[in-house]
Amino acid sequence: MKGYFLIIGFLATTFLIAQSEDQRTRQFNLKNNLAIQGYDPVSYFSNKPVEGKPEISYTYKGVTYRFASQQNLNLFKTSPDKYEPAYGGWCAYAMGENGEKVKIDPETFKIIDGKVYLFYNFWTNNTLTSWNKNERQLKEAADRNWAKFVR
């Protein structure tokens, strides 16, 4: 009987983990099934984002990242929450301004309190410039808006 409950518990836990990973991947900004359009999330912390290599990939809680080096992959594995972009990789300005998921330019970013924030930057509209004018209020609003997606 004890073995039966262990099996049921294992299956329930596996289902919940798979369900939460599926929900998570639906909220993230993924292009061709990759986060940050294939850019290395660790590279942002050297102030020079670079594209990762297909052969150095890692999937964390259902989201796949690429890395420029094995060293960057190892750093990511030690603290993935530190390196994942804010708001699932969506434009921070749009998330704060109106709670929308808007695409980003992976080379337009800002690090705030050790977290990477990404921004839309196309057709002469660089939302990082607008963000910088009202960062505190936009960040507070973006945090509230993002929380609605990840409940």
pLDDT tens digits along 46-64: 999 999 999 999 999 999 9
Q: Could you list the residue range(s) of the whole structural domain that residue 52 is in?
A: 26-149
- Asked, for residue 111, whether it belongs to a domain, the answer is yes
- Asked, for residue 12, whether it belongs to a domain, the answer is no
- Asked, for residue 16, whether it belongs to a domain, the answer is no
Residue 78: exposed, middle, or buried by beta-carbon count in 10 A (0-12, 13-18, 19+)? exposed
62-93 per-position pLDDT tens digit: 999 999 999 999 999 999 999 999 999 999 99
For the chain, what is the mean pLDDT?
89
The dihedral region occupied by 19, where left means phi > 0, alpha psi between -120 and 50, and beta the remainder, is alpha
- Asked, for residue 3, whether it belongs to a domain, the answer is no
- How many domains does the chain fold into? 1
The predicted model scores a pTM of 0.86
